[in-house]
Structure 1
Amino acid sequence: MADTLLDDVGGLLREAADQAVLPLFGKLDDDDVAEKAPGDLVTVADRQAEELISAGLRRLRPGSVVVGEEAVADDPGLLRHLQGSGDVWLVDPVDGTANFAAGRQPFAVMVALLTDGEPYAGWVLDPLAGTLAAARVGDRTYLDGRPVRMTEVSAAPGGLRGAAMSRYLPPSARARVNAGGERLGELLPGQHCAGREYLDLLTGAQQFVLFWRTLPWDHAPGTLLVRAAGGVARRFDGSDYHPADDGHGLLVAANERVWAQVREALLGAA
């Protein structure tokens, strides 16, 4: 891989956001928004940005495979590539589409690179804030070009702040999570944008986030960024998260101490 990989892909995401996403923010017509499935929206910005990003990634890595969220909506069989060999890109052209379609923030543009089935690099861009996080395996996480580490975040009782997407949890788990959040400190309802949740972990705005739905384009980039910065991303049972898994439940935290404390409070002791 070229040493410029992080910069090249980061630049591509900024270009796609500038050309296909930001010009349509707050300016979508009814015909520009559709439902792929009940409650699951897609906009012309999603499709145009995915086309631009996919073409750019193929130029950067000739012979690579691109698995985009919108392409998978048309052909679910593309997901088989996540366990294949070679370079495979995961693309979320507009993460937080419901926010974007309603003229709200946040939303993000995200990419992950898998090599021989394993996560190798990840990028998350908040186009409105201009914030870009990037990392690859064996290196540090960079937030707007500066290295980030989260290992020293304290897990003081009652002093944690984080989010839980409890609306998607089974009812019994939802009640337990909401009750446990009071013991941790501040439990937020989530921003309907996984990319922004991961960025907020990296900036220190929050120390944990709990997800139920774990679509690969939503979480492959962010989990790699968090892990490279010293954080933890695991399934509720403590097993490692992998983007090819089709299970539910993911707990992400700033470090091992925070992860253990949040898991016990929200999900019960191991």
Structure 2
Amino acid sequence: MSHSVDIAALANLLQEAAVKEILPRFRNLGSGDVRMKSEAIDLVTEGDEAAERLIKANIDAIAPGAVFIGEESVAADPALLDKLAGADLAIVVDPIDGTFNFAAGLPLFGVMASVVAGGETVAGIIYDPLGNDWVIAERGSGAWMCRPDGTQERLSVTAGVTVENMVGVASAGFYAQAERRIVMGNMAKVRMATSYRCAAHEYRIFAGGHLHFLMYQKLMPWDHLAGTLIAEEAGAYAARFDGSRYLPAHTNGGLLLATDRDSWEELRREVFTV
């Protein structure tokens, strides 16, 4: 790859942040360690902030000169997000994806990082601190489950099925109420639609062949760049609701991923049109 980022070193850095700053706080947060951001379901913890500080402090050794874009850094300085589209090289990090679960003591959270070069996502990593394994993709090289013993397994999405047999993830919380009613009514057409409140694990299980679709409306890059690349490298079809490619600069327009293009078109037509 031409992006000159040591992906193995980046993967190990995510693990280090989890071991030192995230896992010791899991089910061990004090009353002042959790704060609300935009609303009651949008939280930040001491774990998020400490993990991002550790990653940021060590990123220059792995990706010299890269723009660092972390979820908590952008929360503190929203203008930082504008640097992503024009950056020659950027590292985008979600220190704890699934903060609501983490704060509630639910073992469903992850650490994500993506490498963006010239406006394109070229690598993505999703680390599971509790399983101590990584799902990693570099563009053009497939999606891989990487275990701590060094073994690797190539991932592939499952085969397509009819809409009434599809099981997937759909997050309808950011629709306006009238549109939400339509979409949630349409979701009765699929076999099951759920949300694990953790894009990291939703992308992992989709790429691993356990779901037929993922749908998101709010597109913050730290939530979706790594997972979308991993899903595409596992054979999925991904696009925004208008059919356009999802790129690092996009923060709206919705995102739908399916096992193949025909399934994507059918889901878009039957379920996610408002």
> What TM-score, normalized by structure 1, do the two folds share?
0.92
What letter matches 2:88 in structure 1?
G
Where does the alignment leave 5 or more consecutive residues of structure 1 unmatched?
none
Instruction: State the distance in 2 between where 1:268 and 1:67 align.
Output: 32
Instruction: State the distance in 1 between where 2:175 and 2:37 align.
Output: 22
Instruction: State the distance in 2 between where 1:2 and 1:237 align.
Output: 30
The residue matched to 1:166 in structure 2 has which SS? coil
The corresponding residue for 1:91 is 93
Shift of 1:75: 0.7
Q: Please tell me whether the aligned partners of residues 119 and 247 of structure 2 are also in contact (alpha carbons under 8 angstroms).
A: no
Q: Please tell me whether the aligned partners of residues 155 and 257 of structure 1 are also in contact (alpha carbons under 8 angstroms).
A: no
**Which one of 138, 153, 156 corresponds to residue 149 of structure 1?**
156
Instruction: State the distance in 1 between where 2:108 and 2:87 align.
Output: 34
The corresponding residue for 1:130 is 132
Change over 3 Å in CA distance of 1:109–1:210 after alignment to 2? same
Identity value in percent: 35
Where does the alignment leave 5 or more consecutive residues of structure 2 unmatched?
147-151
Instruction: State the distance in 2 between where 1:219 and 1:62 align.
Output: 24
Instruction: State the distance in 1 between where 2:174 and 2:5 align.
Output: 39
Shift of 1:246: 2.5
The residue matched to 1:94 in structure 2 has which SS? strand
Shift of 1:2: 8.2
The residue matched to 1:139 in structure 2 has which SS? coil
**Which one of 74, 77, 88 corresponds to residue 72 of structure 1?**
74
Instruction: State the distance in 1 between where 2:93 and 2:4 align.
Output: 21
Cα-to-partner distance string for 1:24-71 (whole Å, 9 max, x where unaligned): 100000111122333321111111111111223211111111011111
The residue matched to 2:184 in structure 1 has which SS? helix
1:266 matched to 2:271? The reply is yes
Instruction: State the distance in 1 between where 2:5 and 2:121 align.
Output: 18
Please show how residues 38-187 of structure 1 align to structure 2 within 5 Å. Answer: 38-39=39-40, 40-144=42-146, 145-150=152-157, 153-187=159-193
More displaced, 128-137 or 191-200? 128-137
Shift of 1:113: 0.7
RMSD: 1.9
Instruction: State the distance in 2 between where 1:243 and 1:195 align.
Output: 17
Shift of 1:3: 8.5
Q: Please tell me whether the aligned partners of residues 155 and 209 of structure 2 are also in contact (alpha carbons under 8 angstroms).
A: no
The corresponding residue for 1:206 is 211
Shift of 1:226: 0.8
Instruction: State the distance in 2 between where 1:77 and 1:157 align.
Output: 41
The corresponding residue for 1:191 is 196
What letter matches 1:134 in structure 2?
I
Instruction: State the distance in 1 between where 2:4 and 2:69 align.
Output: 23
Instruction: State the distance in 2 between where 1:242 and 1:266 align.
Output: 23
What letter matches 2:216 in structure 1?
F
Q: Please tell me whether the aligned partners of residues 212 and 248 of structure 1 are also in contact (alpha carbons under 8 angstroms).
A: yes
Shift of 1:194: 1.0
What letter matches 1:28 in structure 2?
L
Corresponding pairs, count: 267
**Which one of 241, 252, 257 corresponds to residue 247 of structure 1?**
252
Q: Please tell me whether the aligned partners of residues 168 and 192 of structure 2 are also in contact (alpha carbons under 8 angstroms).
A: yes
Shift of 1:103: 1.1
The corresponding residue for 1:215 is 220
What letter matches 2:232 in structure 1?
R
Q: Please tell me whether the aligned partners of residues 3 and 89 of structure 2 are also in contact (alpha carbons under 8 angstroms).
A: no
Q: Please tell me whether the aligned partners of residues 68 and 217 of structure 1 are also in contact (alpha carbons under 8 angstroms).
A: yes
Instruction: State the distance in 1 between where 2:183 and 2:88 align.
Output: 39
More displaced, 88-97 or 53-62? 53-62
Q: Please tell me whether the aligned partners of residues 89 and 118 of structure 2 are also in contact (alpha carbons under 8 angstroms).
A: yes
Instruction: State the distance in 2 between where 1:235 and 1:173 align.
Output: 17
Instruction: State the distance in 1 between where 2:137 and 2:107 align.
Output: 24
The residue matched to 2:218 in structure 1 has which SS? coil
